[in-house]
Amino acid sequence: MPDPNDDTRPVLIGAGQLVQRDAAPGEALEPLAMLEQVARAAAEDAGVSEKVLRDLDTVALVNPPAWRAGNPARLLAERIGSHPSREYTTAIGGEVGVSVANFLGERIAEGETRLALVAGCNNLRTFAKARQQGIELDWTVGGEGTPVKLGDDRPGNSKLERHYGFGTPPEIYPAFENALRAARGLDLATHRARMGRLMSRFTEVAAANPYAWFPTARSPEEIVAATPQNRMVAFPYTKYLNAVLNTDQAAAFLMCSAGTARRLGIAPDRLVHWWGGAARNEEAWFASERPSFAACPSMLDSGRAALNNAGVGIDEIDFLDFYSCFPVAVEMAAHQLGLDEDDPRGFTVTGGLPYAGGPASAYCLHSIACMADRLREKPGSKGFVTGNGWYLTKHSASVWSNEPKPGGLPHARLPERLPSQSASMETTPVEIAVEAAGVGTVEAYTALYDREGAPAKGIVLGRTEDGRRFLAHTPDDRELLESFVAEEQVGSRGQLRFADERNRFEPG
């Protein structure tokens, strides 16, 4: 066991969450008020006076998507009476909540940070409603100084991807889903049923989560069956399989050294110890350039490295929260870690982004807050939390426990030889054929649906005969598209031609 006098072991001491479901735009809490509320809730959860917030030396704010405030970290610090020496903000991405926790964990372990607040909020629901109704939101802006930005802020899409309408999560993740299904040898009906079973378990967790956006349990059939209430968005995903970004949610947690926690008088059984983590981005940054749509090398690297850094195996983990914007993100994580999708532990402690809510880059703050609650309830337990940014592009993972980590201080470094290298996984970006002709073979695909539930546009990614990757549209013919999504297309061949500034793929 670690020396009890070791003051730099990183711990989470308190967390707070907030959900604002029904407020009208003119009455809704502004971002700064939400952040203040969860910061004070984190202090209360730690069992200490709110005065502790004045002693913060670090404030890190996850990028708030709808709030352009100048330096929101400074605004929050001033609101809670703090004068931190370090202020951080983040890039956009679902991985950043875990990455910031890992970053601060290492700073605490090295003695550079003593007491830190990590917070984030999402106000996209209020923002969208206000624009819809022509209401001008009087949100606080300003904040002097420039915070240090953490994370990789490169755009998630290439110009070519956007040209083909392959530019948002609901358009891109279904293509990965179809590729992974084919690689597993599942037929369409079996795969659809498996998605339903997997995500139904998420809804059950969300139903018991007081901070969930949709606290409603749904059956597997209800989740995957296309209905007027649950329309198809992009094959094979219905609405209930998509992350929900238009929420009003906030979360925060406090991290410090074990020595600081003792001086604050926090009971040992309230401490949640950071055991280590890791993060890595895909070398093939853009989705269209991935060597395989059914593998995710850097997800494997971050997950395995985090577990190795913590000195535990996946079988020793009691609670899991895999980033869950779409089913394929969960399936890929389970696949990379060798887990069955029916693992009795389940893969979420929040209910996941489609049901607990997908508050933009801040989801992982909620998953870490919920994980802290679970770990405190079960002495000796361990939790594993992952993050995913853009399109299976940026990955992070962390291990937590309500007991101190044996051995040396935790860290978040990657090993010299990465797990993906040991698994001989290809990572180099694939060459793109901007103008393609001849025979093409499908590697991944989807069809986008109109709001009446009819397939309207087919998107295909595949290989030309000389091995280059192509993006293409199918003909916009409803009968053809209905046939296209009725049978497995991965591995099928068709005719390519370049016309009207786009590649066209004619199936069969």
Every domain of the chain with CATH number 2.40.50.840 lies at 438-507
Distance between CA atoms of 122 and 407, rounded to whole angstroms?
Answer: 38
For 210, 274, 276, 398, 399, the CA distances from 104, given in Å and listed in that order, are 28, 10, 11, 12, 14
Indicate whether 324 pLDDT > 70.
Answer: yes
pLDDT digits (tens, 9 = 90+) for 193-216: 999 999 999 999 999 999 999 999
Instruction: Give which of 88, 66, 65 is closest to 76, Cα–Cα.
Output: 88
Structure tokens given for 478 = 């409803």
- Strand 469-473 versus strand 86-90 pairing type: unpaired
234 phi and psi, to 5 degrees?
-155, 130
Distance between CA atoms of 34 and 17, rounded to whole angstroms?
Answer: 9
Confidence label for 508 from pLDDT (cuts 50, 70 and 90)? confident
For residue 5, what pLDDT is reported?
Answer: 46
Share of the chain above pLDDT 90, in %: 96
For residue 3, what pLDDT is reported?
Answer: 47
For residue 263, what pLDDT is reported?
Answer: 93
For 1, 23, 197, 256, 383, the CA distances from 101, given in Å and listed in that order, are 23, 31, 31, 11, 14
Indicate whether 91 pLDDT > 90.
Answer: yes
Query: What average pLDDT does the structure give for the chain?
Result: 96
DSSP code for 46: H
Structure tokens given for 343 = 């693992």
Indicate whether 315 pLDDT > 60.
Answer: yes
Q: What is the mean pLDDT of residues 176-203?
A: 98
Every domain of the chain with CATH number 3.40.47.10 lies at 10-156+244-422
Confidence label for 6 from pLDDT (cuts 50, 70 and 90)? low
- 315 class by beta-carbon count within 10 Å (0-12 exposed, 13-18 middle, 19+ buried): exposed
For residue 283, what pLDDT is reported?
Answer: 97
Residue 275 contacts by C-beta under 8 Å, 6 or more apart in sequence?
309, 310, 311, 312, 382, 398, 399, 400, 401, 405, 410
pLDDT digits (tens, 9 = 90+) for 469-488: 999 999 999 999 999 999 99
Indicate whether 4 pLDDT > 80.
Answer: no
Domain 438-507 sits in CATH at 2.40.50.840
472 phi and psi, to 5 degrees?
-155, 160
Indicate whether 1 pLDDT > 60.
Answer: no
pLDDT digits (tens, 9 = 90+) for 222-238: 999 999 999 999 999 99
Domain 10-156+244-422 sits in CATH at 3.40.47.10
pLDDT digits (tens, 9 = 90+) for 348-380: 999 999 999 998 899 999 999 999 999 999 999
Cβ neighbours, 10 Å, residue 128: 14
Distance between CA atoms of 445 and 456, rounded to whole angstroms?
Answer: 14
For residue 191, what pLDDT is reported?
Answer: 98
